[in-house]
Chain A
Amino acid sequence: MMQILSSLDGRLKAAEELIGEAVAGVRAASVQAEAIGTPLSPDMFPAEFVASIVDLAMPLRYRRPLSTVFMGLTDGELRALLAFVGGYCDPASTLTLPGASLSGAAVEALGDAKQQDRFFSRWVDDPNTRSFFGVTEPGHGTNAHLLSTTLSLDVLSVSGTKRWIGNLTNASTGVLFVRSAPGLLGIRAVLLDLPTVGADVVPLDMTGMRTAGLGELRLNDVTIGGNDVLGSHLPASRRGLWGMTQTFLRMRMQVASMALGAGWALLEEVSGASPSKLDPRSEELAVRGSALARMVWRCAGETENDGVDVRSSLCKAACVTWATDIAIYAGASSIGNRALVNKLVRDVVGLEFMEGVGAKQRQIIATDWLRQRGVRKDVRAG
């Protein structure tokens, strides 16, 4: 069914078989979960898959032994594989799985030894713990210049509103980016446990990604502890925004892989509708998808820090564009009214907003390309 993986790399054969057995059940349950408005149980996914997602979001010292299914892969390769599989099964529900997720990357970048131990020990004690990553705000998204949720360092309290926060409705802990002073150096990150006095979680009714637990977090003078403020041991330039950027860079490659998985699922649905004859449009999309899969797999394997360079922008922009093209093709086709296709089309549309929109990625790609060639030394991505 999913031979795209083993055709990329022979080491992926066992993972392909594991997921191949589970995918139909996950998808059927996902469609049902969306219809009745409940999150999908992690038990629907293979246990090895969920355990690897939890462990990979933590530093090595907190991880359990890796499943034999995934042995031999680097962290970057495994992250790309898990994101592809998640997108292939159900991108929205994958985002609600347990784990430190984006907050894990932020705490790794910004937390001191004690903070890291306190944060990651949660998953050692209870691997089913869910987390949120609070950056996006109404009106200006992830624009750091306009970030307006405030941290008062005098009385140690936070106030403001975060919106479109994935897994928020299920999370019991996470990282919140806040402003303690004007300017980019005034951005800080704090640990926040939920529920807590003054913090209201409001579920959002979305067009797509409806099972992703997206919510709005309203904070009204929420008290935090001094040891909840991350990055105090770091130079001022690395206390807040730097950690946010590092997190987005790491996750960008995973969004690319997730888009690839979701697009591949849609392509199979369309092709399955007329297996004897692949029409020219399906064929073109399949050829593009195969090329993208090779590009993502190569980048995931080559980049030491999980794709922290311009290649992650290239992969994200190209894969989301491709998945969107397939969503349009599949949605408009004769199978567009099937529940699974309908859901995947709406979910794929939401991938554009994750870890930087396409316009932002294209600016990064162009800036890098022009700089490398010395065409423009003054050009900067917005």
Chain B
Amino acid sequence: MIASELESLLDDVSRHLSARDAGASSVLSLGTTLDAIGDIRQRVELCGAFDSAQAPSEAERRVALECLIRIVHLGGAEFYSAQRTASLFAKILRHDR
């Protein structure tokens, strides 16, 4: 399920940022980090439609892909080189569910 996998990845990114700088990345302030996490979180919720649709529409895939890219950019290079990130990209780009 794409939505739950995105949520799990966001959870890991949030924990990673919290552990590193008590909630803020080295570039972002705490407020900006929280804003980014909140913004992504509400997009993850929308991705539920991706999972429930028989054939995901282009718009649904777009929401999921944007969500994934935002999570990776927030998390940093650690998450760009993570196997689970590659797996999520493969699922969304190949239109698998």
In the complex the two chains form, is B83's CB within 8 Å of A205's CB?
Answer: yes
* Contact assessment for A333 and B81 in the assembled complex, using a CB-CB cutoff below 8 Å: no
Query: Which residue in chain A gives the minimum CB-CB distance to B83?
Result: A205
Query: Residues of B contacting A204 with CB < 8 Å?
Result: 81
Kindly state whether residue A360 has any CB partner on chain B within 8 Å.
yes
B interface secondary structure, majority = helix
Which residues of chain B from 68 to 82 have a CB within 8 Å of any chain A CB? 69, 72-73, 76-78, 80-82
Is A358 at the interface (CB under 8 A from chain B)? Answer: yes
Q: Is B1 an interface residue (CB 8 A)?
A: no
Residues of the B chain whose Cβ atoms lie less than 8 Å from the Cβ of A138: 78
B58's contact among A140, A141, A332, A350, by CB below 8 Å, is which?
Answer: A332
A209 and chain B: residue at smallest CB distance: B80
- CB of A164 within 8 A of CB of B77, answer yes
Is B12 an interface position by the 8 A CB rule?
Answer: no
A359 an interface residue at 8 Å Cβ cutoff?
yes
A42 at the interface (CB under 8 A from B): no
Q: A141-B76, A207-B82, A336-B61 are in contact. Are A349 and B69 (CB under 8 A)?
A: yes
**B32, B72, B94, B95 — which one has the most chain A CB atoms within 10 A of its CB?**
B72
Q: Which of A139-193 contact B (CB under 8 A)?
A: 139-141, 143, 146, 163-164
B69 and A327 within 8 A (CB)? yes
Contact A336 B26 (CB under 8 A): no
B62 within 8 A of A: yes
- Judged by a CB distance under 8 angstroms, whether A331 is at the interface is yes
Instruction: Kindly state the separation between the CA atoms of A353 and B82 in the bound complex, as whole angstroms.
Output: 15
Q: Is the CB of B65 within 8 A of A207?
A: no
Q: Which residues of B contact A349 (CB under 8 A)?
A: 69, 72-73, 80
Contact partners of A143 in chain B: CB under 8 A = 26
Q: How far is the CA of A341 from the CA of B61 in the complex (A)?
A: 15
Q: Which of B26, B73, B76, B80 contacts A207 (CB 8 A)?
A: B80
Chain A residues whose CB sits within 8 angstroms of the CB of B86 once the complex forms: 205-207, 346
B62 and A207 form a contact (CB under 8 A): no
Q: Are A140 and B93 in contact (CB under 8 A)?
A: no
Q: Tell yes or no: B20 within 8 A of A by CB.
A: yes
Q: Does B28 contact A (CB under 8 A)?
A: yes
A357 close to B (CB within 8 Å): yes
Min CB distance A368 to B, Å, is 17
Within 8 A of B (CB), among A320-368: 324, 327-329, 331-334, 336-337, 341-342, 345-346, 349-350, 352-353, 357-360, 363
- Within 8 Å by CB of B26, from A140, A206, A352, lies A140
Known: A331-B93, A358-B73. A353 touches B26 (CB 8 A): no
Say yes or no: A353-B77 contact (C-beta < 8 A), given A332-B62, A337-B94: yes
In the docked arrangement, what's the CA distance between A207 and B72, Å? Answer: 10
Give chain B residues whose Cβ lies under 8 Å from the Cβ of A346. 86, 89, 93
Chain A residues, Cβ within 8 Å of B25: 359
A342 to B94, CA, bound (A): 8
Q: Point out the residues of chain B lying under 8 angstroms from A140, CB to CB.
A: 20, 26
Tell me which of A337, A345, A353 contacts B80 (CB under 8 A). Answer: A353
Q: Does A127 contact B (CB under 8 A)?
A: no
Which among A331, A341, A345, A359 is the interface contact of B27 at CB below 8 angstroms? A359
Determine the chain B residues whose CB is within 8 A of the CB of A164 once the complex forms. Answer: 77, 81
| A329 close to B62 (CB less than 8 A) | yes
Residues of the B chain whose Cβ atoms lie less than 8 Å from the Cβ of A141 = 26, 76-77
The digit string for B19-61, where 1 denotes a CB below 8 A from any CB of A, is: 0100001111000100000000000000000000000001101
User: Which residues from chain B contact A345 at a C-beta distance below 8 Å?
Assistant: 65, 89, 93
Q: Decide: B95 and A359 in contact? CB cutoff 8 A.
A: no
Q: Within the complex, what minimum Cβ distance (angstroms) separates A352 from chain B?
A: 5
Q: Closest residue of chain B to A163, judged by CB?
A: B77
A sample of 11 cross-chain residue pairs with beta-carbon separation below 8 angstroms, ordered by A number, consists of: A143-B26, A205-B83, A328-B69, A331-B93, A336-B93, A337-B95, A345-B65, A353-B77, A358-B73, A359-B25, A382-B26
